[in-house]
């Protein structure tokens, strides 16, 4: 178990840890509040800490479930690389949510949390009541335009040393795609760094970027295509699109793709937010989500 399992990071993450054992590996999750479940799924290179400002307010009326993807946050860090593919991440989330026996779920998805969360949703649509999509995708091949320089480096031969040995990805990714970088204080950055203190602990970050399906020969292309084909199942349920419009990774063109797919969706555009919009405008986003949930009981 990681040394940070009981760490609350100067009070920024004061939530009791919960663990689910999946194939002998401990998956950490936050479980706060009661009522209909709101499941918030993070991507790369973050962990459940990303939603720390969402949980206190939403848990007053809802049951907030915030898992850490395997290899991230307070979850276990397996060293077998095949365990960091999209299909396995989806299976991890699926096992947790089925074990908790959740129904009437509102899924809040960001970044890689989109493909992982939709991987669960497309297999269990009867459990999904609402969707909140934030700067995410679930399409193959990649729709986000040219890869940012950081992703190109990680996907190259020198990416291994860059991520694992030099830890060259985490901070540039966070600071480079947060519009209000002044909000990324020393305490906040320390919390994001904490799970990735050794080369061995950074394996998930390396594998996520390399797993983005670009062409049919890529390992996770078939899984992403399967997920994409199931997206139409949600064309009649309430959907909220919250988008940081300054995102260089998933541009507004990806938002337009979601709007075409889900014409019933309500869209909330944040002109002063980038990819990590949860850091840029947490108060506005939480208020928007709360309004959306109340309007769609």
**What is the rounded radius of gyration, in angstroms, for the C-alpha atoms of the chain?**
17
Domain-located, residue 101 = yes
Domain membership of residue 1 (yes or no) is no
Is 186 part of a structural domain of the chain?
yes
Give me the CATH number covering residue 227: 3.40.50.1820
> Does 11 reside within a domain?
no
Which stretch of DSSP H or E encloses residue 152?
A: helix 149-154
Predicted confidence at residue 111, as pLDDT, reads: 97
| 214 in any annotated domain | yes
Helix axes 113-123, 221-229, angle to 10 degrees: 60
Residue 12 inside a domain? The answer is no
- Helices 113-123 and 86-99: crossing angle in degrees, nearest 10, is 60
pTM score, whole prediction? 0.97
- pLDDT recorded at residue 1: 43
Q: Quote the CA–CA distance of 247 and 159 in Å, as a whole number.
A: 23
* Structural domain harbouring 200: 18-295
Output the DSSP codes for 98-131: HHTT--SEEEEEEETHHHHHHHHHHH-GGGEEEE
pLDDT at 108: 98
Give the number of residues written for the chain.
297
Is there a domain that residue 9 lies in? no
Q: Identify the pLDDT of residue 147.
A: 79
How does strand 239-244 pair with strand 105-111?
unpaired
> How many domains does the structure of the chain reveal?
1
pLDDT of residue 151: 86
Per-residue pLDDT of the chain (297 residues), as tens digits, is: 458 999 999 999 999 999 999 888 999 999 999 999 999 999 999 999 999 999 999 999 999 999 999 999 999 999 999 999 999 999 999 999 999 999 999 999 999 999 999 999 999 999 999 999 999 999 999 887 777 788 888 999 999 999 999 999 999 999 999 999 999 999 999 999 999 999 999 999 999 999 999 999 999 999 999 999 999 999 999 999 999 999 999 999 999 999 999 999 999 999 999 999 999 999 999 999 999 999 999
Tell whether 5 is covered by a domain.
Answer: no
Q: Which residues of 82-101 are buried (b: 16+ CB within 10 A; e: fewer)?
A: ebbbbbbbbbbbbbbbeebe
Query: What's the pLDDT at 2?
Result: 53
């Amino acid at each position: 178990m990681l040394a940070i399992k009981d760490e609350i990071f100067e009070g920024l993450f004061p939530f009791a840890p919960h663990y689910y054992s999946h194939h002998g590996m401990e998956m950490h999750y936050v479980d706060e509040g009661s009522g209909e479940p709101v499941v918030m799924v993070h991507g790369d290179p973050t962990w459940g800490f990303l939603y720390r400002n969402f949980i206190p307010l939403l848990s007053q009326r809802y049951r907030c479930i915030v898992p850490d993807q395997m290899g991230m946050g307070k979850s276990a860090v397996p060293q077998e690389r095949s365990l960091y593919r999209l299909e396995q991440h989806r299976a991890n989330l699926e096992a947790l949510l089925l074990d908790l026996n959740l129904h009437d779920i509102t899924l809040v998805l960001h970044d890689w949390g989109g493909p992982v969360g939709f991987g669960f949703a497309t297999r269990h649509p009867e459990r999904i009541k609402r969707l909140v999509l934030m700067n995410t995708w679930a399409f193959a091949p990649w729709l986000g335009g040219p890869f940012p320089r950081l992703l190109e480096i990680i996907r190259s031969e020198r990416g291994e040393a860059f991520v694992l040995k030099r830890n060259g990805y985490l901070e540039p990714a966070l600071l480079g795609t947060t519009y209000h970088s002044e909000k990324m204080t020393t305490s906040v950055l320390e919390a994001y760094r904490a799970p990735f203190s050794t080369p061995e602990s950074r394996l998930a970050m390396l594998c996520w970027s390399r797993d983005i399906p670009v062409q049919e020969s890529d390992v996770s292309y078939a899984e992403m295509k399967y997920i994409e084909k199931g997206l139409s199942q949600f064309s009649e349920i309430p959907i909220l699109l919250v988008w940081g419009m300054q995102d260089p990774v998933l541009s507004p063109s990806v938002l337009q793709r979601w709007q075409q797919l889900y014409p019933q969706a309500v869209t909330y555009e944040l002109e002063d937010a980038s990819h990590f919009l949860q850091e840029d405008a947490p108060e506005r986003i939480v208020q928007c989500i709360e309004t959306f949930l109340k309007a769609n009981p």
